[in-house]
Amino acid sequence: MRVTMIGTGYVGLVSGACFADFGHTVTCVDKDEGKIARLQKGEIPIFEPGLEDLVKDNVEQGRLSFTTDPSAAIRDADAVFIAVGTPSRRGDGHADLTYVYTAAEEIASLMNGYTVVVTKSTVPVGTGDEVEATIKKKRPDAEFAVVSNPEFLREGAAISDFKRPDRVVVGTEEERAREVMRDLYRPLFLNETPIIFTERRTSELIKYAANGFLAMKITFINEIADLCEAVGANVQEVARGIGLDNRIGKKFLNAGPGYGGSCFPKDTLALMKTARDHKAPIELIETTVRVNTARKQKMAQKIIDALGGNVSGKTIAVLGLTFKPNTDDMRDAPALDIVPALQDEGARVRAFDPEGMEEAKHLLKDVAFASGPYDCVQDADAVVFITEWDQFRALDLDRMKKALKAPVVIDLRNIYRPQEMAAKGFRYVSVGRP
Ligand code: UDX
């Protein structure tokens, strides 16, 4: 099949490379000339494990190419995916669909022969109808179908999530379009991935409901962690105790500083907005958003308390800045709330992150960036773990203690065990554990 992917952000690039790896011929289109020039040279603009090799391999096999000119790519395609950004609109939190509709106009003017137009971007319910109307208006003659096919991949695990998903969701009632989608995902039939064919609006809502639920699950365990701290219980054991119940499930029950990233914050806001607009507000999501925002801000106070209530003039070493490990993405990362709040109280912040520092330099002011974890903690009054990178899991604790001015560790990801840290002589504070 010939596939065109419009947008080479996270979802577009990973989906494009994976479809090519399935054996389809894929052209990725982006307006950003610099980005396309880099991709043509084999440089990957994001940090995602395995992506560079996958792209290189498929380019060499002639199945994957990059261009700024969509004309030939759209004209010849069996399926054109819209995988452009849908950021939160300033002011009301609604998804900004400008790029989606621009792509729809472009597809309309260029498509030729039966074309399946697939929205992979996360879009509010009803967007597929709008895309269809946009295309129809411009090209009443065109033979096409608009399909919703949300993407559930996680940053840092994107390739395996795409190739071994829990499910694929396809929203369309047109049999001919379903056939094209079946062909595209045929390699997944081998590992018996469930493919859910549903109506387009339902498919659009599935994506928001999934992200809303996961954000709520994390927020639930974060609030239970606060209660654990108050009553002297252990949140990890509570999470295990409830997670073994199949109805609840073990995943996404790690308490921490609050969720961030490119999806949960944006999608929960958009879901909230859609629900309000339709006079069916979802209070659980509204609360989730409020509690998570407050939590990120509260984390700075937790650090200040661990340092005896005053951080003025103190140096705080921060290990991990990205919103989670295995990405260089800083979008809505808890560090963006925590670091400035500490600085406002007079602390000096020195930070290290394996992949996120380039991005962090644009987003954080007056932070000294270190070359590694030990360099970061040298002579600091405390060390704070904000992201659970693997390389922070097995630090030489004696070396770290020697380097620190005071042996204070605030572990917002529960990387270490309290008993072990106490035995090493650290003053250790974590999340939801005595
Ligand atoms: C998420 C969804 O998982 C994915 O299906 C969707 O397509 C995009 O949004 P992503 O944002 O890449 O993926 O990261 P994810 O691993 O889900 O983590 C999101 C945030 O939740 C991170 O800040 C992470 O630290 C936090 N989190 C996750 C927790 O605090 N605790 C957990 O148990 C799990």
For residue 92, the model assigns a pLDDT of 83
**249 pLDDT above the threshold of 90:** yes
Give the chain's length.
434
**CATH assignment of 2-198, given 1.10.3720.10, 3.40.50.720, 3.30.460.80, 3.40.50.460?**
3.40.50.720
For residue 376, the model assigns a pLDDT of 98
Does the CB atom of residue 181 touch ligand 1 within 6 A? Answer: no
Ligand 1 centre to CA of 388 (Å) is 13
Topology agreement, domain 2-198 and domain 199-434: yes
Low-confidence winner among 19-23, 31-35, 189-193 (lowest mean pLDDT): 189-193
**39 pLDDT above the threshold of 90:** yes
Give the residue whose CA is nearest to atom 2 of ligand 1: 154
CA atoms in the 13 A half-sphere facing the CB of 301? 5
Does the CB atom of residue 22 touch ligand 1 within 6 A? Answer: no
**329 pLDDT above the threshold of 90:** yes
User: Mean per-residue pLDDT for 128-144?
Assistant: 97
**131 pLDDT above the threshold of 90:** yes
Give the residue whose CA is nearest to atom 5 of ligand 1: 152
Q: Tell me: the pLDDT tens digits for 155-207? A: 999 999 999 999 999 999 999 999 999 999 999 988 899 999 999 999 999 99
CA 7 to chain centre: 16
Cα 408 from Cα 430, distance rounded (Å): 11
User: Mean per-residue pLDDT for 19-36?
Assistant: 97
Average per-residue pLDDT for the chain = 96
Give the residue whose CA is nearest to atom 20 of ligand 1: 259
Does the CB atom of residue 261 touch ligand 1 within 6 A? Answer: yes
Q: What's the start-to-end Cα distance of the chain, in Å?
A: 56
pLDDT > 90 in the chain, percent: 96
Ligand 1 centre to CA of 259 (Å) is 7
For residue 159, the model assigns a pLDDT of 97
Catalytic residues: 263
Q: Report the nearest atom of ligand 1 relative to the CA of 215.
A: 21
For residue 90, the model assigns a pLDDT of 80
Q: Report the nearest atom of ligand 1 relative to the CA of 11.
A: 7
Does the CB atom of residue 150 touch ligand 1 within 6 A? Answer: no
pLDDT > 70 in the chain, percent: 100
**CATH assignment of 199-434, given 3.40.50.1460, 3.40.50.1820, 3.40.50.720, 3.40.50.300?**
3.40.50.720
| Degrees, nearest 5: CA angle 257-330-40 | 150
User: Mean per-residue pLDDT for 378-387?
Assistant: 98
Does the CB atom of residue 10 touch ligand 1 within 6 A? Answer: no
Give the residue whose CA is nearest to atom 3 of ligand 1: 154
User: Mean per-residue pLDDT for 270-278?
Assistant: 95
Sign of the alpha-carbon torsion through 339, 340, 341, 345? positive
Cα 266 from Cα 340, distance rounded (Å): 22
Give the residue whose CA is nearest to atom 21 of ligand 1: 259
Does the CB atom of residue 252 touch ligand 1 within 6 A? Answer: yes
Give the residue whose CA is nearest to atom 25 of ligand 1: 324
Map out the domains of the chain as residue ranges: 2-198, 199-434
Residue type, 271: L
For residue 130, the model assigns a pLDDT of 97
For residue 302, the model assigns a pLDDT of 97
Q: Report the nearest atom of ligand 1 relative to the CA of 157.
A: 12
Reported as a pLDDT band with limits 50, 70 and 90, residue 410 is: very high
For residue 89, the model assigns a pLDDT of 84
Does the CB atom of residue 256 touch ligand 1 within 6 A? Answer: yes
Give the residue whose CA is nearest to atom 26 of ligand 1: 259
* pTM, 2 dp: 0.95
Ligand 1 centre to CA of 132 (Å) is 31
Cα 36 from Cα 148, distance rounded (Å): 26
Does the CB atom of residue 412 touch ligand 1 within 6 A? Answer: no
Q: Report the nearest atom of ligand 1 relative to the CA of 257.
A: 30
Does the CB atom of residue 154 touch ligand 1 within 6 A? Answer: yes
For residue 283, the model assigns a pLDDT of 98
Which strand ranges, in their side-by-side order, compose the sheet holding 195-198?
A: 64-67, 25-29, 2-6, 79-82, 115-119, 144-148, 168-171, 195-198
Q: Report the nearest atom of ligand 1 relative to the CA of 154.
A: 12
Q: Tell me: the pLDDT tens digits for 61-105? A: 999 999 999 999 999 999 999 999 988 888 787 889 999 999 999
Rg of the chain over all Cα atoms, to the nearest angstrom: 23
Cα distances from 166 to residues 18, 199, 247, 317, in angstroms, run 16, 19, 16, 39
